[in-house]
Structure 1
Amino acid sequence: MGNNMFNGKVPFESFGLPSLKRLELSHNQLAGHIDVQPFRQLINLTHLDLSSNSFRGGWELDTLLSSLTNLESLNLSFSGFSVYNKECQSLCQPWI
């Protein structure tokens, strides 16, 4: 779903897809704060890319990483988040 010019706030709570392995939302015009709770349902997620958007504020990265135990890559570059955490260093390809 990347590069689709989606804009506004993403209804992440509608992602009730526990079998989802990749979530690619980069290069859109997504904005606002993100609630980490809906991501807890994505137990099989291995790749998450939210780069090149206009999110704002902090993000509970520790909470996210502790619930996404299968996550191999996380791309938050140019996403607007003001977050960095040492936990990211344990990922295979942490782009922040």
Structure 2
Amino acid sequence: MWALRGLAGGHRVKGGPLGTNQGERMLALARQGLGIVRLSEYHVAGDLRAGKLLRLLGEYEESEADPICLTYQSRRNLSPAIRCFRDFMIEKFAGPNPWCTEALV
């Protein structure tokens, strides 16, 4: 079930006979013209820019971005490698998505 929100309110849409929970597999099916997929923008940005995929139902897109979560055991005794990666991710994703372009908005 897809929960969609748009100008006319909310809608729930049941998927078709094909289904998978793997983003790369869904993308492959969409590239082959075998259905409509709902994927994160980072999965489809290149294909949208190249014209291989078309954005559908744009009026129903969520206004908030999906969060990127980092999970680690504790801030205490955090290894330098994990601390460096955490700091990199915070810096890299603090602003606009690097895969998003004005052409996709």
Bigger strand share: 1
Larger % of helix: which? Answer: 2
Fold conserved between structures, TM > 0.5: no
TM-score, normalization: structure 2?
0.29
> Highest CA radius of gyration, 1 or 2?
2
Q: TM-score, normalising length from structure 1?
A: 0.31
